[in-house]
Structure 1
Amino acid sequence: MAAYQFAGDFAAPPSKHRNKGGDRLCSCGIFRCCFGCCWRIFRCGLGCLCNLVCQIICAVLVIAAIAMLIVWLLFRPSNLEFRAGEASLTEFSLAGNTVRYNLALNVSARNPNSRLEIIYEDIEAVGYYHGQEFASDRLPAFSQEKETTRTITAEFEGQKDVSLGDEARANYEEEKSSGEFPIDVKVQLKIKLKVWLLTSPFSLKPSFDCDLNVPLNSSGKSYQGTDCTFDWRNIDLH
C-alpha cells in the first residue's frame, strides 16, 4: 500500500514548464485587473470631482442671482436718463443709393440711483435714416457711480448704400432744401448693476432711442437738444 502510494506520488510530479507559463499568465492577469480597477477608480473619482465643482458653481450663481433679485426688489432702480445735448452734422448727402455722412453726437448719460453703480460693458450706437441703417459706432466701456452724469460721444463718418423708396427720396429733397435731416440714433447697451461690493452675475440689455432733427452746420440753424427714450430689455444669463 505504501509502495503504491509512493509510486503514485512519483508518477505524477509537477510540471515545471507548465507552472512557469501559468505564473506568467497569472501575473499578467493580476496586472491587467489592478490597472483596470485603478483606471475605473480614477475615472469615477474625476467624474465625481467634476460634478461637485459644477454643482458648487451653479449653487453660487443661483445664490448670487437670488441676492441681486432681492436687491432689485428692495431698491427698485430708476430708469437711466439719456439726452442728446449736442450734435454736429458737417455732411449729409444722397447720391443714387449712397449716403455720405459726418455726424458727431454728444449724449449725457445720467445714473439717478442713489445706491446702484452702473457698469457699462458694451455700447453700440446705430444711425438710421428713414428706417434704413447707414452708420454704427462702438463706444468704450466704463463704470458710472451713483447719482452722476457722464457724456459719451458717438461719431459717424463715411458712406453706405441704402435702399430708399420714392417717398423717402422726395422727403430727402425737401430736407436738403431746409438744411435739416431726421436721424434716429438707437443705442444698445450691455450693463451690470453693482451694489456695495456685489456685482450682478448676469447682464442687462437695455437700449435708448434718440429721435433727432439735426441741421447741417452750413445751414446756419442751431440744433435743439433731444431727450432720449430709455427701455429695459432682456436679461442675459450667459
Structure 2
Amino acid sequence: MSAHYPYERRKCYRRLCAILSWFIILILITIFLIWLILRPTKPHFILEDATVYTFNLTTTSATLNLLTTTLQLSLAARNPNKRIGIYYDRLDVYATYRGQQITPPTSLPASYQGHKEVTVWSPFVNGNAVPVAVYLGMEISQDQNAGRVLINVRVDGRVRWKVGTFISGRYRLNVNCPAYLSFGGGEYSSNSVLVGSTAKYQLVQQCYVDV
C-alpha cells in the first residue's frame, strides 16, 4: 500500500501539469484568435507644421561643411483602432537631409493612446554645427539657391498594443515625414507665414509609418 501511494501521487501530478499546460495553451490560442479578429492597424502620423529658426550651412574648408538647424515641429499621431490602445514607450524625433541625420534625436514623453484618440507633440530639434559630407553641402546650397529644400522628419521608437487587459510585446516603430522648406530672397511659399524673422510652414503632411 505504501509503495503504491507515491506512484498514484506522481500520476496525479502529471495529470495536473497536463491540465495546466492545456489551459495555458487554450488561453494563448484565445488571445491569438482575438488578435486576428481585431487586426490592429498601425497609427497614423501627420506633420502639421514646422517653424524654422535656423538653417545655416557654413563652409570652413574644402573638406568640411557645418550645418546648424533649429526647428520646432507640430507632430500629430492618431490611433485608428476602435478596440485597441497603443502605448508609446519611447519615441525619438530628428531631421535628415538626403539620408544623413542633421540633428540629434529629441525624446518625446512616453504616453498611452486610447481608441480613436489623437496625440500632438511640439518638440524642438536642434543640430549645432553638424558636419555634413562635401557633396551634401553642395546640394544644400543648390537647393537653397533654387528656393526649396526637402528635409525628412523621422521618428523611431517602440510601441505596444493593448487589447482589453492584454498588452503585447514591444514593436519597432519607424515614421518618415517629408517636409519642403522654401528659401530665397525673403519670398516664402504659399504654405508658410512669417513669425518675426522666422518662417512657419503649414505642411499637414501625411507620414509613412512602418511597424
Q: Same fold (TM over 0.5)?
A: yes
State the 1:121 CA deviation: 0.6
Give the 3 Å change call, closer, same or farther, for CA 63–138 of structure 1 in structure 2.
farther
**Which of the numbers 168, 174, 195 marks the counterpart of 1:207?**
174
Give the 3 Å change call, closer, same or farther, for CA 64–214 of structure 1 in structure 2.
farther
**Which of the numbers 95, 105, 113 marks the counterpart of 1:144?**
113
The reply to whether residue 90 of structure 1 matches residue 53 of structure 2 is yes
- Give secondary structure in 2 for the equivalent of 1:125: strand
Quote the residue 1:77 is aligned against.
40
- Give secondary structure in 2 for the equivalent of 1:99: strand
Contact 1:125-1:139 at 8 Å conserved across structures: yes
The reply to whether residue 129 of structure 1 matches residue 66 of structure 2 is no
Contact 1:133-1:162 at 8 Å conserved across structures: no
How far apart, CA to CA, are the structure 2 residues paired with 1:64 and 1:83? 37
The structure, 1 or 2, with the larger RCO (C-alpha pairs under 8 Å, 6+ apart) is 2
How far apart, CA to CA, are the structure 1 residues paired with 2:170 and 2:27? 13
How far apart, CA to CA, are the structure 1 residues paired with 2:124 and 2:32? 36
- Give secondary structure in 1 for the equivalent of 2:122: strand
Give the 3 Å change call, closer, same or farther, for CA 113–163 of structure 1 in structure 2.
same
The reply to whether residue 111 of structure 1 matches residue 74 of structure 2 is no
Q: Which amino acid aligns with 1:91?
A: T
Quote the residue 1:195 is aligned against.
163
Stretch deviating more after TM superposition (218-227 or 150-159): 218-227
- Give secondary structure in 1 for the equivalent of 2:42: coil
Number of aligned residue pairs: give it: 172
Give the 3 Å change call, closer, same or farther, for CA 190–67 of structure 1 in structure 2.
farther
- Give secondary structure in 2 for the equivalent of 1:177: helix
- Give secondary structure in 2 for the equivalent of 1:220: coil
State the 1:179 CA deviation: 4.4
Quote the residue 2:124 is aligned against.
155
How far apart, CA to CA, are the structure 2 residues paired with 1:129 and 1:75? 38
**Greater Rg by CA:** 1
TM-score by length of 1: 0.64
Unaligned 5+ runs, structure 2: 1-19, 60-64, 193-200
CA RMSD of aligned residues (A): 2.6
Give the 3 Å change call, closer, same or farther, for CA 65–191 of structure 1 in structure 2.
farther
- Give secondary structure in 1 for the equivalent of 2:128: strand
How far apart, CA to CA, are the structure 1 residues paired with 2:72 and 2:156? 17
Unaligned 5+ runs, structure 1: 1-55, 233-238
State the 1:146 CA deviation: 0.3
- Give secondary structure in 1 for the equivalent of 2:123: strand
Give the 3 Å change call, closer, same or farther, for CA 63–119 of structure 1 in structure 2.
farther
Higher relative helix content: 1
Contact 2:95-2:102 at 8 Å conserved across structures: yes
TM-score by length of 2: 0.72
